[in-house]
Structure 1
Amino acid sequence: MTMHQTIDPAQPQPSAQTPPTRATRVQFMAEDDKAMLRAARDLTKGLGDAKPAVYWPDMLLSAALGYAGVAVTILSGNLAIQIVAGLVGALAFYRAEMFIHELTHIHRKALPGFRTGWNLLVGIPLLTPSFMYEGVHTIHHKRTQYGTMEDPEYLPLALMKPWSLPLFVAVALLAPVALLFRFAVLVPLGVVIPAVRRFTWQRLSSLSINPDFRRKAPEGAFAKRVRWQEAGASVWAIALLASPLAFGWRPLLIALAVLSLTALLNQLRTLVAHLWENEGEEMTVTAQFLDSVNVPPPGIAAEIWAPVGLRYHALHHLMPSMPYHDLPEAHRRLAGELGTGSTYEGANHPGMLVLVGRIARSTMIKRPGGTKQG
């Protein structure tokens, strides 16, 4: 059906140079853009199968580079080499660790052995076993919980105080030490003190940013996975704390410094994964999409700071089960079909600095009565 627009000569018309108005979350709080949702379903047919030939080499190579980088940083006596090796190690471990996001969405039978392999090679050694994200991240994707007080991965950062942003980023530097304390001290204490066990599980067992989130006790097969992953991480953490007796403090401190950089990178990515403009209201899928962020090509920097498909974070919220290796093609199809000025384009942003600037400016706006958080 062809639609004709009547032009009122009394009203000023946009010039050819005027960019189209960007779609926003507010426009779609009550009703979805059903045409975009249908396009996301129809245009991505043939995509969606997780490929072991992509997942395994990517994860293994990333982990190997991470360990090599840390080893060179510890063993080298040249400061320049240490800095380069430490940066390579942090970036490689960052990419390897981001596969935890994929583990929460892919079907458990899609990649036989991948969850166990990732936990043994990455999750447990880096003290972030997959149970810390599984069962938590899925809440973030629930239609009625995204962006609400029940969402473990949401804070209205754009509506909070200006000092909230640097604090949000800087606290990540302490994450490796906090994880070491959790697994080496609190887990063994929890075996004999039930109150410590409950506190550790409810408050310190999820990779979340909402301080009000309380995790429910694990059940069934998931509880079994928690037990072996937590036991493995606890034994490893105790070994790390004991390692200075044999090797001195230098190796452990260097490793913690590299992992602090990894945590900082992830926190910066988290800062720009959403626009953080919702304050507890339920949102449609389209509103959630527009509150989330794509940083598509041609820029290559986003592939470094938002690896394993996370540069397509808004698209991921449309299709949470889409494997990371299919997201670039899914984006290409949707962007090509829906075009400039579409709702889909409203979630596309040029880069991290622009996004940080937008959120920072938003925190400086004085709002009547303040916000509920911050």
Structure 2
Amino acid sequence: MNSFSLDGLDATGIASARLSLPLGQVADDKAMLRTAAEMTRDLLAPRPALYWTDLLLSTAVGYAALAGAILFEPLDWAIVSWLVSVLALYRAASFIHEVSHMKHAAVPGFRLGWNALIGVPLMAPSFTYEGVHNLHHAKTRYGTAEDPEYLPLAHMKPWSVPLFVLVSALAPIGFLVRYALLTPLTILVPWLRRPVEARFSALCINPEFRRRPTEGEAMRRWWQLEIATSIWAIGLIAATATGVLPLKAFVILLATISGMMAINQVRTLVAHLWENEGEEMSLTAQYLDSVNVPPPATLPVLWAPVGLRYHALHHLLPGLPYHSLGEAHRRLSTAFDGHSPYHKASYDGLPGLLNRLVRGTLRSR
């Protein structure tokens, strides 16, 4: 299939065109979009048993390894156990992305179960992503100043890349402040509530993003999760201060959350090319600005779990559940010929993508 065209260039020119033209000028390849939708319609149904099995196993391994990191005396075994805990709980936590997209009637109780197992204990309840992440997929918002999950990182200063990761590593301190301090304060001082909701209630990377008010059932669920998380955070601090929870256990828990957030931030660095500077973009341009890291690469199973290795495909077909993305990619890779823009979003792995980003920041100096 040879359907992509751009300002008079045929599909053979897409690689150079993507680099030389602003993404805002890339038109939609309607044939590719239509074919992708048609060929994956049978993959749209989520498989509840797989969702629950994956989440429960990841959670069980993660917390068991966390206990090992706290209890093991030999330092080497404690470190290995901690690394297993970080990776397993990171996989479990990554289901927040699925929670933000799924029709909840299709996987009954999953949002509640995820929050009980992961969201509240790790102080990142689902309301911080629901109602936020969907804005990243809005055609008129993606890559603009109103996108909570986009920054033109490829055009920023070189020091912005390590700073981007460092800030995420401090997240557990921010979580404690948010829920142990700010939640009670907004109850005692009601006028604080609006700025806290707008500025400190979303998992986002755009510092200019301000969350709009939530109402109705979503707001009721938000309050339930926030109060549960606040009680948990206050309880952690109180238990540690009184010696009920050993300081070592508290520090290792925070270090685990920090490690998870740092890995996710590194993944975020390579989830897109970050080349847009605020223009509205076509869906095809959004796809080309996003990244797939398909097999034969193996390490993405660890640093981009739960379908996140197919991030570009997810932007093309956001309704596909995570377990369908691999099959969808196989089908579409076969259906489109080598000149199709579909293949232009696939990359070999993390090192090359990070190198590309860093080189982009150096050119922007």
Task: Give the TM interval when normalised to the shorter protein.
Answer: over 0.9
Partners of 1:47 and 1:284 in 2: CA distance: 24
Q: CA deviation at 1:196?
A: 2.6
Indicate if the aligned counterparts of 1:22 and 1:343 stay in contact, CA closer than 8 A. Answer: no
Q: How does 1:81-230 map to 2 (within 5 A)?
A: 81-230=77-226
1:243 corresponds to 2:239: yes
* Partner in structure 2 of residue 370 of structure 1: none
Change over 3 Å in CA distance of 1:279–1:163 after alignment to 2 = same
> Per-residue deviation at 1:29?
3.3
Task: Return the structure number with greater helix share.
Answer: 2
Deviation of 1:19 after TM superposition, in Å, equals 11
- Taking the aligned partners of 2:300 and 2:238, their CA distance within structure 1 comes to 38
Report deviation, 1:110.
Answer: 1.1
Q: State which of 29, 52, 56 in structure 1 corresponds to 2:24.
A: 29
> Which letter maps to 1:195?
W
Give the conservation status (yes or no) of the 8 Å contact 1:129–1:230: yes
Q: 2:72 aligns with which of 66, 72, 76?
A: 76
One-letter amino acid of the counterpart of residue 40, structure 1:
A
Residue number in structure 2 paired with 1:11: none
Partner in structure 1 of residue 274 of structure 2: 276
TM-score (norm 2): 0.93
Hey, what's the Cα distance between the residues in 2 that align with 1:339 and 1:180? 51
- Aligned counterpart for 1:346 among listed residues 344, 347, 351: 344
User: Aligned pair in 2 of structure 1 residues 366, 120: CA closer, same or farther (>3 Å)?
Assistant: closer
Whether the 8 Å contact between 1:153 and 1:210 is mirrored in structure 2 is yes
- Aligned pairs for 1:288-307 (under 5 A) are 288-307=286-305
Task: Tell me, in whole angstroms, the C-alpha distance in 1 between the residues paired with 2:239 and 2:18.
Answer: 52
Contact (CA 8 Å) 2:158, 2:361: kept in 1 or not? yes
Counterpart of 1:325?
Answer: 323
CA distance in structure 2 between the partners assigned to 1:22 and 1:327 by the alignment: 27
Gaps of 5+ in 2: 4-11
Question: What is aligned with 1:365?
Answer: 363
Q: Work out whether residues 28 and 286 of structure 1, in 8 Å CA contact, stay in contact via their aligned partners in 2.
A: no
Output the CA distance in 2 between the equivalents of 1:176 and 1:225.
Answer: 23
1:104 is paired with a residue of what secondary structure?
A: helix
User: Within 2, Cα distance between the matches of 1:310 and 1:116?
Assistant: 22
Q: Distance in 1 between matches of 2:23 and 2:237?
A: 51
Q: CA deviation at 1:108?
A: 2.0
Spell out the pairing of 1:59-74 with structure 2 (5 A cutoff).
Answer: 59-74=55-70
| Separation in 1, partners of 2:14, 2:156 | 29
Using the TM superposition, give the Cα deviation of residue 46 of structure 1 relative to its aligned residue in structure 2, in angstroms.
1.0
Matched residue of 1:223: which SS? helix
Where in structure 1 are there 5+ consecutive unaligned residues? 4-17, 368-374
Which of these residues, 335, 338, 344, is aligned with residue 337 of structure 1? 335
Counterpart amino acid of residue 246 in structure 2:
G
343-352 vs 332-341, which moves further: 332-341
Which whole-Å CA distance do the structure 2 matches of 1:329 and 1:2 have between them?
Answer: 22
Structure 1 ranges of 4+ moved more than 4 A: none
**Separation in 2 of the partners of 1:106 and 1:314?**
18
Q: CA separation in 2, counterparts of 1:284 and 1:261? A: 35
Q: Is the 8 Å Cα contact of residues 156 and 364 (structure 2) preserved in structure 1?
A: no
Deviations 1:151-180 (A, max 9, x none): 000000000000000100111110011101
Q: How many aligned residue pairs are there?
A: 353
Deviations 1:349-372 (A, max 9, x none): 1111100100100011147xxxxx
Aligned CA distance change for structure 1 residues 20 and 224 (closer, same or farther; 3 Å) = closer
CA RMSD between the two structures: 1.9
Q: Tell me the equivalent position of 1:9.
A: none
Summarize the Cα distance change of 1:170–1:2 in structure 2 as closer, same or farther, 3 Å threshold: closer
Cα deviation per residue 1:290-331 (whole Å; 9 max; x = unaligned)?
Answer: 000000001111111000000000000011110000000000
Structure 1 vs Structure 2: percent identity of aligned residues?
53
TM-aligned CA distance change 1:46 to 1:27, over 3 Å? farther
Change in 2 beyond 3 A, CA 1:325/1:23: farther
Tell me what 2:252 maps to: 254
* Higher alpha-carbon deviation: 73-82 or 278-287: 73-82
Amino acid in the other structure paired with 1:206: A
